[in-house]
A and B are shown apart, each in its own frame.
Chain A
Amino acid sequence: LAKTTQPISMDSYEGQEVNITCSHNNIATNDYITWYQQFPSQGPRFIIQGYKTKVTNEVASLFIPADRKSSTLSLPRVSLSDTAVYYCLVGDRGFKTIFGAGTRLFVKA
């Protein structure tokens, strides 16, 4: 299982674009990259998953460079309600998912 490294915390202001980068130097060929969001006292919520290049959905974009050793979650125009912990996971979409400590994003007014 590939180990991931994320910033411990980030601050932003409402309306800004936020980019959270995750490093995963030993990602394997079969591994996918998945991001979750977690609010206090709630379970994590799936945001986006990708293998290479760029993936976009209604919530976020995921950018993965050609070497796949890192990935960037992009949240467009954040609001106060985007304050949460964001987890980057890397694995072969099998069943031994490992969550790291995540990145605490704090959005200010």
Chain B
Amino acid sequence: NAGVTQTPKFQVLKTGQSMTLQCAQDMNHNSMYWYRQDPGMGLRLIYYSASEGTTDKGEVPNGYNVSRLNKREFSLRLESAAPSQTSVYFCASSVSGQGEFFGPGTRLTVL
């Protein structure tokens, strides 16, 4: 099992550009999450999906959209990137109510 995979690993964008971060899990988990982590800080929840077909806002959803494409895949879209969105983005999945499994992260820099 690959666990949670994320693409790309690194990305540099210019202000105003758009991009989609991809996440997939092969553990048959119902719940999936997107977090961002700024240097020296804890993780902040952007969006989550409790089950296929549902998504909800987390702590810091502004500037982002998500799509739960199917049970395996949960993508995060930045429509118009801003320097404040420079961060490391982590995707995670879990069986509802249990610990989360995290992907390796995507390092995004917005110039």
Q: Which of A42, A46, A98 interacts with B101 by CB under 8 Å?
A: A46
A96 touching B48, Cβ below 8 Å: yes
**Chain A residue with Cβ nearest B57:** A96
Q: Which residues of A contact B (CB under 8 A)?
A: 34, 36, 41-46, 49, 87, 93, 95-102
**Set of chain B residues within 8 Å of A95, measured between Cβ atoms:** 31, 33, 48, 50, 56, 58
Residue from A36, A97, A99, A102 having most chain B Cβ neighbours under 10 A: A97
Q: 8 Å CB contacts to A: which residues of B32-79?
A: 33, 35, 40-45, 48, 50, 56, 58-59
**Chain A residue with Cβ nearest B102:** A43
Nearest-CB distance from A86 to chain B (Å)?
Answer: 11
A102 touching B42, Cβ below 8 Å: yes
A46 touching B99, Cβ below 8 Å: yes
A45 touching B45, Cβ below 8 Å: no
A93 to B41, CA, bound (A): 22
Whether, in the assembled complex, B1 has its beta carbon less than 8 Å from a beta carbon of chain A, the answer is no
Q: 22 pairs across A/B with beta carbons < 8 Å?
A: A41-B105, A43-B90, A43-B92, A43-B103, A43-B105, A44-B100, A45-B102, A46-B100, A49-B99, A93-B97, A95-B31, A95-B33, A95-B48, A95-B58, A96-B48, A96-B58, A97-B33, A97-B100, A98-B45, A99-B35, A99-B43, A101-B41
A97 to B92, CA, bound (A): 11
A101 to B101, CA, bound (A): 19
Q: A42-B105, A43-B92, A43-B104 are in contact. Are A97 and B45 (CB under 8 A)?
A: yes
A44 to B92, CA, bound (A): 9
**Set of chain B residues within 8 Å of A102, measured between Cβ atoms:** 42
**Chain B residue with Cβ nearest A43:** B102
A93 touching B98, Cβ below 8 Å: yes
